[in-house]
Amino acid sequence: MTGLFTPILAGAGAEFRIALRNRWVVIAVGVMALFATVLSATGSAPTGELGADRLSVTVASLTSLAVYLVPLVALLMSFDAVAGELERGTLSLVLTYPLARVELLLGKFLAHLLILALALAVGYAIAAGAALWADPRAAAGLPALWRLFWTSELLGATFIAIGYALSALARRPGAAAGLVIGLWLALIVLYDLGLLAAVVADSGGRFTTQVFPWMLIGNPADAFRLYNLAASEATAAAAGIGGAANAIPMSHALISILLWPLAALGFATLAFRKVIP
């Protein structure tokens, strides 16, 4: 008989195998490993004078990198999920099987989360290894690295689910690809620029004190950055948004990081329900 999670696990197994064959696992792991290596090699500025250990500094640079890279990798993995199956014609058959649509999504979600976790683990392990090798005090930064790992995974989860939602809304893989790139640009790149411009124009008025912190918290990528930088105070100053980070309680950022994946998954399920194969 089928267990409660059998359909989800079956879907995750098939999806992971497909990602292995399509080289997606290798690409994701390779990209993270490459960037972690480059960061470790170039981020070897003298740090002893700042009082921070080598790994904590690496975590700060990895955070700034992950804000861009993790959502991108997540969206590229997920944009094909619904639209690709629709186009290949595989969706109508599997939807006649005894499983709910949300179970189909959760199976893919589990596989994509696992791939992302593999990529993050390899990349961050390389960075940690390099830091520990160069600085014996670097072990002090391990909690920060662990925090970076699981928050990166949650950030990835949000964007994987958003990718599913856009995939279901777009119906065609080409349109879905365009949508996810557009969303990445808007939410990760332009959002911060826009906020910055607004803050400058406002010059310390109501927007800066009342609205801006919430807009920062509301964006999953900014919440991720705030949480990680605020948590490692030693490097917050160096990262440039320390002021904002101090104005917002860390717990708010954490709540945003935790709620976003659920909200995105709910949105994806609703969008998928509207798809007629």
CB closer to another protein out of 7 and 71: 7
Contacts of 227 (CB under 8 A, 6+ apart): 147, 151, 250, 253, 254, 257
DSSP 3-state percent helix, strand, coil across the chain (nearest 5): 85, 0, 15
Give, rounded to a whole angstrom, the gap between the first and last alpha carbons of the chain: 28
Q: Which is nearer to another protein, 96 or 210 (CB)?
A: 96
As measured in angstroms, the least distance from the Cβ of 159 to another protein is 23
Nearer to another protein, 83 or 230 (CB): 83
Orientation angle between helical segments 220-231 and 142-170, nearest 10 degrees: 180
Q: Which residues bind another protein (CB under 8 A)?
A: 1-2, 6-7, 9-11, 13-14, 17-18, 21-22, 88-90, 92-99, 276-277
Of the CA atoms within 13 Å of residue 37, those in its CB half-sphere come to 8
Q: How many helices (H) and strands (E) does the chain have?
A: 15, 0
Question: Residues of 127-149 as b/e, b for ≥16 C-beta within 10 angstroms?
Answer: bbebbbeebeebeebbebbebbb
Residue (189 or 270) nearer to another protein, CB: 270
Q: How far is the CB of 240 from another protein (least distance, A)?
A: 43
The tokens for 249 are 């309680």
Q: How far is the CB of 84 from another protein (least distance, A)?
A: 9
Q: At its nearest, how many Å lie between another protein and the CB of residue 273?
A: 12
Smallest gap from Cβ 3 to another protein, in A, equals 8
In one letter, which amino acid is 105? L
Contact 54, 135 (CB under 8 A): yes
Q: Which is nearer to another protein, 92 or 209 (CB)?
A: 92
Smallest separation, CB 12 to another protein (Å): 10
Q: Which two tokens stand for residue 62?
A: 């990895």
Decide if 107 contacts 94 (C-beta within 8 A).
no
* Closest distance to another protein from the beta carbon of 172 (Å): 16
Q: Is 9 helix (H, G, I), strand (E, B) or coil?
A: helix
Residue among 7 and 220 whose Cβ is closer to another protein: 7
In the complex with another protein, the residue whose CB is nearer, 10 or 175, is 10
